[in-house]
Structure 1
């Protein structure tokens, strides 16, 4: 099956200070959303395998957008989500967000060993969604527990699905709750452990 892409969105934020303290390196976040026609309306479909297979194209598209926005190795965290229009089922978004979808995204940003935090829901256009984010290589890096809140003013329409991936160049500014650090994860990776 081929997915019918209706619209794409990109949102970027750059945070330069927190609590009056300037960041040594600004935190960049990027959200990429692709809105597709929901092909499974009006009937229960037991096998969503064709959607899972077709989602690879979305992963490649979103990964290419991330590659254009970030230098190699710059992305440290990510998260994904989906909003299904009111005529669909939550499972329709989940079918588009599996590992088949995520692998091209990981490849585009230079890897990612950790699972990708996810949120899906059924909602009307303009509904807020909070996309949870975590470190791309180790979910135990507490400084990277973060997220992005997004509103797509005209999506999803009842017969659409919005697929969203968020990326960040670091953890929260001024993170100080301890735990494993990004640098420790990178040193462990370099040592091959």
Structure 2
């Protein structure tokens, strides 16, 4: 996976001038991008592919070791919008622009000196979610996962359609693992996107489902 290390600012230098500078100043250590192409078997209309990508930022946890009564809002408002911008920039670059993206999702994993609520603070507020939707031209809420774990954990990022969350064809999951993150005092924040559905979706949708209730179990159980 391509990685971009964000070097420290030298003492006495000018304030941040780009979003990457600002991210570095706010404690982002590295940004990693995973891109994969799923080839579909078949010929003709089936001989197509879907590209999926996940952009992950490894950031210092500003609340590590703090009391559970700590107000998370001030740091969330400072950090989450910057993470939304740098991660969606990477996704649109990897996938050919927001117009090519059909599905999206998000995830956060906090290191062992933090709380799951610290991870949640960076992805479950409008300061992250609203901006990801705007930058990726979506309208759906983002599917998500969050966790607390050691470095090297597998991070599963669920995705669904960016404009129609109940469209089953676009339910999919992208997994990644970072060997050196999250450190105990870090949080990994991930945004993921896909240019299409799962290969060969054919389980129907709410518009094609027949009514199903517990009555279908009669005669079976």
DSSP 3-state at the match of 2:89: helix
Relative to its length, the structure with more strand (as a share) is 1
Alignment partner, residue 105 of structure 1: 132
Distance (Å, rounded) in 1 between the aligned partners of 2:203 and 2:148? 34
Instruction: Tell me which of the two structures has the higher relative contact order, counting C-alpha pairs closer than 8 angstroms and 6 or more residues apart.
Output: 1
User: Size of the alignment, in residue pairs?
Assistant: 177
2:12 paired with 1:25 = no
Residues 24-103 of structure 1 correspond to what in structure 2 (within 5 A)?
24-44=47-67, 45-54=69-78, 55-69=80-94, 70-97=96-123, 98-103=125-130
Distance (Å, rounded) in 2 between the aligned partners of 1:21 and 1:154? 39
Structure 2 unaligned regions, length at least 5: 1-24, 208-221
Distance (Å, rounded) in 2 between the aligned partners of 1:21 and 1:161? 41
- Report the Cα offset of residue 178 of structure 1: 1.2
Distance (Å, rounded) in 2 between the aligned partners of 1:72 and 1:7? 23
Distance (Å, rounded) in 1 between the aligned partners of 2:47 and 2:27? 43
2:32 paired with 1:6 = no
What is the root-mean-square deviation of aligned Cα atoms in Å? 1.6
Distance (Å, rounded) in 2 between the aligned partners of 1:136 and 1:72? 11
Distance (Å, rounded) in 2 between the aligned partners of 1:75 and 1:81? 18
**Selected match of 2:192 from 150, 155, 166:** 166
TM superposition score normalised by structure 2: 0.76
TM superposition score normalised by structure 1: 0.86
Structure 1 unaligned regions, length at least 5: 182-193
Distance (Å, rounded) in 2 between the aligned partners of 1:71 and 1:12? 14
Name which one, 1 or 2, has greater alpha-carbon Rg: 2
Distance (Å, rounded) in 2 between the aligned partners of 1:46 and 1:160? 17
Cα pair 2:32 2:56 within 8 Å, conserved: yes
Distance (Å, rounded) in 2 between the aligned partners of 1:155 and 1:41? 15
2:164 paired with 1:143 = no
Distance (Å, rounded) in 2 between the aligned partners of 1:106 and 1:42? 31
- Report the Cα offset of residue 107 of structure 1: 2.3
Distance (Å, rounded) in 2 between the aligned partners of 1:74 and 1:58? 21
- Report the Cα offset of residue 108 of structure 1: 2.2
Cα pair 2:139 2:163 within 8 Å, conserved: yes
